[in-house]
Amino acid sequence: MYRNSFKTRSFRPRNDGGRRSFSQNIHPSKFINKASSVNETAVFKPEHTFRDFNIDEQLKLAITKMGYETPTPIQDKAIPHILKNTDVIGIANTGTGKTAAFLIPLIDKVLRNRKEQVMIIAPTRELAIQIEGELIKFARDLKIYSVCCVGGMSIGHQIRELRYFNNFIIGTPGRLRDLIDNKKIFLSEYRTIVLDEADRMLDMGFVNEMRFIMAGMPKERHTLFFSATVSSEIEKLIKEFLSQPIRISVKNRDTSANVEQDVVKIRRGTDKVDVLHGLLNKEGFSKVLIFGRTKHGVEKLSKILVGKGFKAESIHGNKNHVKRQQALRLFKNNHVQILVATDVAARGLDIADVSHVINFDLPATYDDYVHRIGRTGRANMVGKALTFIVDNV
């Protein structure tokens, strides 16, 4: 629909001086993929219902109240092993319900032993906050306590919360390292740990923090490792961190079968913003997530779109925590049509009903592309992903 013919060649994004070099060649064909129709996709038949799992009856009631009916593939396969205290490697596309896959059995573990303490590590503050939000929903009436320890928020408040007993600590690697160094968190007390979006933590340069935390924990521990992609570096961490793990993969392709993918070819001399403006005025572009390369570029594009009459917000590293959460809330609740973001929003965020993901700037790697477009086509809905390709011919 949007694609023009193009020569078979690689496009090399330039390095704009940021932390990461945008130098990996990604062939344009990788950005084109027809979504599978309902008839083309095999219907998943779970082996269990939530009632089948050997979990506390109060937890089963909480699951029912949340509207959970049938386990997703990762939940169906992972929960029984986690309940047996087995180390698990969970490999699944984004949006497949993996947060509940580890929260449900770990809440049950706490209900069986109220002294149990669990640490959950996530790469970004948004994902950590989202995980705690889901935990609170499950455990609302179960007298289970948690604290979220992330950068960009008051460390003083987090220190005060850590004076009390918490069954769950959910945090980002850097802030957790700070609190451990300051003897506010004692790793010897934690025998269960979840590394969520481990590939993203590695990509963001948190490998030293991950190794530091794992080294400080008891050798006999329960480790859960979730990742959407598994590189050779991730395989090394798996060997370091886990003991005789069960590997569960419910991922049958790089990108979701529910995402229609195409390119938008920008001819030399054409203004990308004008092309974007034309797309956003088309029918069906109801809730659009646009990815840019730099913080400055994302903020500038957001302001341009607002100036053109669109309801738009931005999220990037230069925004403080309150403003980032406000922008996300406005987008989630459909008060704005467009959210312009750097890759900080690409991993883990569960935003319902995103109609389109637009890669205004090319991603650094194909893995980044996979996670960007995973924001659409969730919960068996069909989404669309468009990638701008500048033809310099």
pLDDT over threshold 70, residue 51:
yes
Q: Which two tokens stand for residue 332?
A: 């989630």
Q: What is the reported pLDDT for 296?
A: 95
Burial class from Cβ neighbours inside 10 Å (0-12, 13-18, 19+) for residue 23 reads: exposed
* C-beta of residue 59 within 8 angstroms of C-beta of residue 111: yes
- Residue 322 pLDDT level (bands cut at 50, 70, 90): confident
For the segment 73-87, what is each residue's pLDDT rounded down to a tens digit?
A: 999 999 999 999 999
Nearest-10 crossing angle of helices 155-162, 173-181 = 60
- Bigger pLDDT: 257 or 18? 257
Q: What is the reported pLDDT for 23?
A: 38
Angle at 124 between CA 301 and CA 25, to 5 degrees: 60
Q: What does pLDDT average to over the chain?
A: 87
Partners of 224 in the β-ladder:
88, 194
pLDDT over threshold 80, residue 158:
yes
Phi and psi torsions of 235, nearest 5°: -60, -35
Task: Of 2-11, 48-57, 206-215, give the lowest mean pLDDT range.
Answer: 2-11
- Bigger pLDDT: 321 or 349? 321
- Bigger pLDDT: 135 or 22? 135
- Residue 255 pLDDT level (bands cut at 50, 70, 90): low
Strands lying side by side in the sheet with 168-171:
146-149, 168-171, 118-121, 192-195, 222-227, 88-91, 246-249
Mean pLDDT of the region 29-48: 65
d(Cα 130, Cα 48) in Å, to the nearest integer?
A: 26
Q: What is the reported pLDDT for 41?
A: 40
Kindly report the three-state secondary structure assignment for every residue of the chain.
CCCCCCCCCCECCCCCCCCCCCCCCECHHHHCECCCCHHHCCCCCCCCCCCCCCCCHHHHHHHHHCCCCCCCHHHHHHHHHHHCCCCEEEECCCCCCHHHHHHHHHHHHHHHCCCCCEEEECCCHHHHHHHHHHHHHHCCCCCCCEEEECCCCCHHHHHHHHCCCCCEEEECHHHHHHHHHCCCCCHHHCCEEEECCHHHHHHCCCHHHHHHHHHHCCCCCEEEEEECCCCHHHHHHHHHHCCCCEEEECCCCCCCCCEEEEEEEEECCCCHHHHHHHHHCCCCCCCEEEECCCHHHHHHHHHHHHHCCCCEEEECCCCCHHHHHHHHHHHHCCCCCEEEECHHHCCCCCCCCCCEEEECCCCCCHHHHHHHHCCCCCCCCCEEEEEEEEECC
Q: What is the reported pLDDT for 43?
A: 59
Q: How many angstroms separate the Cα of 239 from the Cα of each of 86, 236, 242?
A: 15, 5, 6
Phi and psi torsions of 179, nearest 5°: -70, -35
- Bigger pLDDT: 358 or 40? 358
pLDDT over threshold 50, residue 15:
no
Nearest-10 crossing angle of helices 232-241, 207-216 = 10
* C-beta of residue 121 within 8 angstroms of C-beta of residue 237: no
* C-beta of residue 198 within 8 angstroms of C-beta of residue 237: yes
For the segment 340-386, what is each residue's pLDDT rounded down to a tens digit?
A: 999 876 665 778 899 999 999 999 888 788 888 888 887 667 899 99
Closest CA to 348 of 195, 217, 237: 195
pLDDT over threshold 50, residue 256:
yes
Q: What is the reported pLDDT for 382?
A: 84
For the segment 259-318, what is each residue's pLDDT rounded down to a tens digit?
A: 899 999 998 889 999 999 999 999 999 999 999 999 999 999 999 999 999 999 999 988
Closest CA to 98 of 130, 125, 67: 130
Phi and psi torsions of 318, nearest 5°: -80, -10
The percent of residues in the chain predicted with pLDDT above 70, rounded, is 87
For the segment 208-253, what is each residue's pLDDT rounded down to a tens digit?
A: 999 999 999 999 999 999 988 888 899 999 999 999 999 999 865 5
For the segment 119-133, what is each residue's pLDDT rounded down to a tens digit?
A: 999 998 889 999 999
What residue type is assigned to position 49 of the chain? T
Q: How many angstroms separate the Cα of 7 from the Cα of each of 265, 266, 391?
A: 11, 13, 9
In terms of residues, how long is the chain?
393
- Bigger pLDDT: 327 or 19? 327
Q: What is the reported pLDDT for 392?
A: 66
Mind listing the domains of the chain with CATH numbers? 28-40+257-391 (3.40.50.300), 57-249 (3.40.50.300)
Q: What is the reported pLDDT for 195?
A: 97
Mean pLDDT of the region 51-78: 94
Closest CA to 102 of 93, 111, 114, 89: 89
Cβ atoms within 10 Å, residue 81: 17
